[in-house]
Amino acid sequence: MFVYYFANVSRPCEAIGDRLGTLDLDTWATEAYRNAESLRSRLVGKDLVATSVRLNVTEPIHKSSHTVMVIEWTADGPAGLFAALEGDLVVAPIGPSRCQISLRGSYRLPPGADPSLFHRLTEACVKSFVDRVAAGLDQPPPRLDVVRQASGSKS
């Protein structure tokens, strides 16, 4: 099945393109997946939790009009939201001072899953992840001198 979600960031793409590969995407993917599992548990009453959740990503690929990271998002264990989701995380400009973060991908449902319910749960999972990425990119990068002071280093 296909899933798509996007969020806007109020920063120019040039200011965030190189930061994409430095974000903690794996943690955010796991948190988003766990939140969707919790939602499924409340709706269906079955408390099935994946043994592990992983996000494998390529290095950012800079193209003429956008930046792409190919992702593979997997979960092992009991019937979760999806066994695997494969797609692209894309950063593209939507003007001189804004950009759009989107995730477009396809996934397989667990055996015996209600397609309508599980599609909505997967959409919620993807939304949560993309919103986390957008929020992370919307923040200015830490200043180097502040990082040095915080670690006790002297310049």
C-alpha to C-alpha distances, 110 to 3, 15, 51, 89, 153, nearest whole angstrom: 15, 39, 14, 23, 50
**52 vs 3 pLDDT, higher one:** 3
Please give the pLDDT value at position 155: 47
Tokens of residue 134, six digits: 């957008």
How many other CB atoms sit within 10 Å of the CB of residue 60? Answer: 18
Q: Give the residue among 134, 111, 131, 130 at the shortest CA–CA distance from 16.
A: 134
- Region 54-76: mean pLDDT is 88
Give the integer Cα–Cα distance in Å for 154 and 136.
Answer: 28
| 27: pLDDT strictly greater than 80 | yes
pLDDT bucket at 101, cuts 50 / 70 / 90: very high
> Mean pLDDT across the chain, nearest whole number?
83
CA separation, residue 136 to residues 54, 76, 115, 132 (Å): 19, 27, 31, 6
pLDDT tens for each residue of 103-143: 999 998 877 778 888 899 899 999 999 999 999 888 766 55
CATH class of 2-141: alpha beta
